[in-house]
Amino acid sequence: MAHASDGRSLEFRLPDLGEGLTEAEIVRWLVEVGDVVAVDQPVVEVETAKAMVEVPCPYGGVVTARFGEEGTELPVGAPLVTVAVGEVDGAGDAAADGPARGTGAAEAPAAKTPAAEKKAEGSGNVLVGYGTSEAPARRRRVRPDRPAATGVSGRANGRVRAAGPVDGPVRAAEPADGPVPVISPLVRRLARQHDLDLRELAGSGPDGLILRADVEYALRAAAAQGGRTADQEAGAIRVPDAASASSGAFSSTSAAPHPDGTRVPLKGVRGAVADKLSRSRREIPDATCWVDADATELMRARTAMNASGGPRISLVALLARICTAALARFPELNSTVDTEAREIVRLDRVHLGFAAQTDRGLVVPVVRDAHARDAEGLTAEFARLTEAARAGRLTPGDLTGGTFTLNNYGVFGVDGSTPIINHPEAAMLGVGRIVPKPWVHEGELAVRQVVQLSLTFDHRVCDGGTAGGFLRYVADCVEQPAVLLRTL
């Protein structure tokens, strides 16, 4: 049977996609077993808590195995595909051989062909957490007395695990007095802080390794069930039977609070938003101030800009330009708090986030170096990121690293709000709808275009005087755009 001559089977694992993401859900496979893939060719589309991402494979060769069906949630470090690399004789037969990892046989080192050596140099297309240079050789233990299992799937801690070939035998449950498969001290500390027995958890990492995501999921599940049941307090976890598992309901000694309701999992974007907003409320002592402003002159200035030809200037771009000018005068609000060091970190660059509602939920794309962009540049970047958000093409890099957020909730037809700060930022400017209202202008009552502005800020980084000064400057620029000329 033809096979990969002078080659070997390399395993490509789900990389760290950035900003501490611990898992991703398979949305769509882009390759089939037996397909020939090139270096850096996308092989799978996954959805993280932040974005939809096409994951490129750093190896070129024949796909011999895929791990996980569409809809399966995989932790970072879990196998995605195996690829037979080297000079391929009969791609289809090579695929039929199956993954080397599922045979239980030890892999023998093979001499590299020039083509393999070239590919081993790496593609240069590096994702966070792994490189595309050749990985060091790993030795696998031969276990001929126990058959390898394939197609294993199921749930651990309530989440779907990958279906596909499994490296070696299925792990039996660890004895109560055996070692706990945990490496990270952070995971142990998190479990200890919440009185969670790690022996009760089934790890989702390689070889059953318990990850932080497993602990956090178990804590969320316990909170959702209204606390631990009596047998959990005694040190046992209640496992759902087949009937309850198929319906998604866990058996319990007490009835569910709303048995007729619909349960919606907090996962993906919705779960990430819930976690971040909850953390913001726990950690940040926020306060909000607001003011009404006459935006008539700002609207006239925008009309004049767009009448002169060239790219049209958006209103949000003008508000962003005002924000960056205000942050230059009040840099305390472009900062973050390092709680470990008990220090306020004032940031030199403004990476401006803006809230955008999409079919997948609320996202906050980030305009990099907003302070260095003019109104035209800001308009173009807002348009690019908004279109990418609606199409689900935002990358993790587009959604992370913000230092200040502009929230235009006026698009929902509301006047005001007290938004939750986008942790770990220190402030958020909110803009309500702009509507005609009676207003005293130059000593006379007139109908003017009025907007309500609100600023929610972290009271640790500044006092009310600084926050009030920032908001007053923003309002002055809205009412008299010529004020900006002083800093242009």
Q: Active-site residue numbers?
A: 459, 463
Q: At what angle do helices 315-329 and 464-479 cross, to 10 degrees?
A: 140
Which neighbouring-strand residues pair with 182?
Answer: none
Distance CA 353, CA 464 (A): 23
Q: Which two tokens stand for residue 364?
A: 């906050």
DSSP letters spanning 333-366: GSEEEETTTTEEEE-SS--EEE-EEETTEEE--E
Half-sphere exposure for 153 (CA within 13 Å, toward CB):
13
C-alpha span between 332 and 373 (Å, rounded):
21
Task: Give the number of other Cβ atoms within 10 Å of residue 455's Cβ.
Answer: 22
Q: How many helices (H) and strands (E) does the chain have?
A: 11, 21
Written as six digits, the tokens of 9 are: 């089977």
Q: Cis before residue 147, ω within 30 degrees of 0? A: no
Contact in structure between 50 and 115 (CB atoms under 8 Å): no
Rounded alpha-carbon distances, angstroms, from residue 13 to 16, 24, 153: 9, 12, 18
